[in-house]
């Protein structure tokens, strides 16, 4: 058994951080957080904080990497060294390479890359704090940053996690639950079209449990999506109203 595992993670229907089973941690979304980027955003689930910056579309060099038919999407997911309890060694890891790959593939589904042949769109994501559900926060921030950069997209991507903890199906798995719980299942969707563009799952689930998780994640994604839309709307409203602090 893993050291440090609490005896119970859910007590009287409440999770250790006080949440109900199907309750999100506090969520926060913000765009235009990095001045130098073409688009940028921050997305937060409780203590999990992602910052994304988008540069491009811009001509790709060296030339032999260009795709004559579409923009190439380049995505880098990175953990800040002090984002977790055990310091993360700087540089790429096998984990960050895999996550960068699946995030890139999910993002590519929404971008009209064919409008920008021979260019590259760079998406850089920094996990400032990591407390579970990091790749979902990363994807939410990246999608907002793309929107902020004005990159033509079919729709936003919204992501959240479902999971199984102490036998219960829960929404928005935090770090402790991920570490000591039974199942973590990150899901990303294009919510309006009901399309699942990212899906991973680790741990044991029956078919029924899987379907329940998926349902719950789907509902969660709709909530995330709503927050993302509001964030964009509010920001542009503030800009229209001349708020300099945006």
Among 10, 16, 21, 196, binds other proteins (CB under 8 A): 196
**CA 130/CA 45 separation, integer angstroms:** 9
Residue with tokens 């994501």: 125
Q: Are 56 and 121 in contact (CB under 8 A)?
A: yes
**Of residues 95 and 237, the one with the C-beta less far from other proteins:** 95
Among 30, 31, 45, 83, binds other proteins (CB under 8 A): 83
Considering only 14-22, 163-171, 203-211, 234-242, which stretch makes contact with other proteins by CB under 8 A? Answer: 203-211
Residues contacting other proteins: total by CB under 8 A: 69
Among 51, 71, 72, 144, binds other proteins (CB under 8 A): 51
Task: Report if residue 245 touches other proteins, rule: CB under 8 A.
Answer: no
Among 16, 153, 214, 232, binds other proteins (CB under 8 A): 214
Interface positions, 19-38, toward other proteins (CB under 8 A): 34-37
Give the three-class secondary structure for 38: coil
DSSP 153: B
- As measured in angstroms, the least distance from the Cβ of 143 to other proteins is 14
Task: Report if residue 197 touches other proteins, rule: CB under 8 A.
Answer: yes
Q: Are 163 and 183 in contact (CB under 8 A)?
A: yes
- Considering only CA atoms, which of 125, 103, 158, 155 is closest in space to residue 34? 125
Instruction: Look at the alpha carbons of 93, 64, 106, 121 in this order and tell me if their dihedral is positive or negative.
Output: positive
DSSP string over 129-191: E-SS-HHHHHHHHHHHHHHHTT--BSS--EEEEEEEETTEEEES--HHHHHHSSEEEEEEEEG
Q: Are 50 and 128 in contact (CB under 8 A)?
A: yes
- As measured in angstroms, the least distance from the Cβ of 55 to other proteins is 5
Considering only 6-14, 129-137, 164-172, 236-244, which stretch makes contact with other proteins by CB under 8 A? Answer: 129-137
Q: Are 119 and 57 in contact (CB under 8 A)?
A: yes
Task: Report if residue 203 touches other proteins, rule: CB under 8 A.
Answer: yes
Among 68, 240, 241, 245, binds other proteins (CB under 8 A): 68
**CA 219/CA 231 separation, integer angstroms:** 19
- As measured in angstroms, the least distance from the Cβ of 130 to other proteins is 7
Among 9, 29, 53, 160, binds other proteins (CB under 8 A): 53
Structure tokens at 162: 């479902």
Where do contacts with other proteins occur on this chain (CB under 8 A)? 1-4, 34-37, 40, 47, 51-53, 55, 68-69, 76, 78, 80-87, 90-92, 94-95, 97-98, 100-102, 105-106, 108-109, 122, 124-126, 128-131, 185, 190, 193-207, 210-211, 214, 218
């Amino acid at each position: 058994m893993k050291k440090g595992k609490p005896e119970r993670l859910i007590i009287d229907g409440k999770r250790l951080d006080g949440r109900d089973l199907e309750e999100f941690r506090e969520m926060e979304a913000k765009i235009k957080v990095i001045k130098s980027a073409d688009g940028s955003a921050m997305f937060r689930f409780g203590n999990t904080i992602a910052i994304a910056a988008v540069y491009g579309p811009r001509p790709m060099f060296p030339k032999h990497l260009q795709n004559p038919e579409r923009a190439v999407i380049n995505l880098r997911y990175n953990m800040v060294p002090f984002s977790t309890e055990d310091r993360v060694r700087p540089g790429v890891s096998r984990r960050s390479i895999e996550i960068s790959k699946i995030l890139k593939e999910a993002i590519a589904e929404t971008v009209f890359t064919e409008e920008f042949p021979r260019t590259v769109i760079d998406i850089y994501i920094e996990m400032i704090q990591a407390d579970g559900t990091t790749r979902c926060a990363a994807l939410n921030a990246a999608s907002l940053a793309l929107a902020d950069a004005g990159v033509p997209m079919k729709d936003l991507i919204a992501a959240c996690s479902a999971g199984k903890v102490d036998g219960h199906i829960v929404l928005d798995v935090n770090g402790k639950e991920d570490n000591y719980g039974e199942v973590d299942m990150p899901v990303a969707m294009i919510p309006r079209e009901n399309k699942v563009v990212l899906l991973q799952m680790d741990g044991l689930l029956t078919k029924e449990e899987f379907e329940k998780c998926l349902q719950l994640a789907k509902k969660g994604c709709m909530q995330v999506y709503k927050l993302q839309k509001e964030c964009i709307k509010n920001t542009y409203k503030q800009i229209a109203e001349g708020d300099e602090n945006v």
